[in-house]
Chains A and B, each alone.
Chain A
Amino acid sequence: MALFAPLAQVTPVDWSPLWISLKTSIVATIITLVVGLAAAYWRERHKGSAMALVDGIFILPLVLPPTVVGFFLLVIFGRNGPVGRVLLRLGATVVFSWPATVIAAAVVSFPLMYLTARAALEQVDTRFLEAARTLGASEWRVFREIALPLAWPGVLAGTILSFARALGEFGATLMVAGNIPGRTATIPIAIYFAVEADDMHRAIVWCVIDVVISLALLGGLYHWAYTPGTRPARETKP
Chain B
Amino acid sequence: MPLEIQITKRLAEFTLNVSITAGDSPLGILGPSGAGKTMLLRCIAGLERPDRGRIVLDGRTLLDTEHGVDVPSRDRRVGMVIQHYALFPHKTIAENVAFGLHHLAPSERTQRVDELLERTRIAELGKRYPRQVSGGEQQRAALARALSIEPSALLLDEPLSALDTHLRSQLEAQLQEVFLVYRRPTLLVTHNVEEAYRLGRELLVLSRGQIAASGPREDVFRHPPSLEVARLTGCKNFSRAQPISEDTVQAIDWRCQLRVRTFRGGPVACAGIRAHHIDFVESSDGSSSSENVFPCWLVRSSESPFRVTLFLRLHQPPDESGNFDLQAEVYKEKWEHFRGRPLPWHVRLAPELLFVMPE
Residues of A bordering B, CB below 8 Å: 125, 127-128, 130-138, 141, 145-146, 149-150, 232-236, 238
Contact = CB atoms under 8 A, between A and B. Distances in A.
Nearest to A233: B131
B85 A136 contact: no
B84 A134 contact: no
A135 B72 contact: no
Nearest to A141: B102
A128 to B, nearest CB: 6
Contacts of B131: 233, 235
Interface residues of B, number: 29
Contact of B84 (A127, A141, A149, A236): A127
A150 B89 contact: yes
B333 interface: no
Nearest to B97: A135
B90 A149 contact: yes
B47 A133 contact: yes
Which label, helix, strand, loop or mixed, suits the secondary structure of the B interface? loop
B88 A131 contact: yes
A127 B88 contact: no
A120 to B, nearest CB: 14
B80 A134 contact: yes
B76 A137 contact: no
A237 to B, nearest CB: 8
Interface string B58-102: 000000000000001111111110101111111000000001101
B149 interface: yes
B74 A133 contact: yes
A95 B15 CA distance: 59
21 contacts: A127-B86, A128-B89, A131-B86, A131-B145, A133-B46, A134-B45, A134-B47, A134-B78, A134-B79, A134-B80, A135-B99, A136-B77, A136-B100, A136-B103, A136-B149, A137-B102, A141-B102, A146-B88, A150-B90, A238-B86, A238-B89
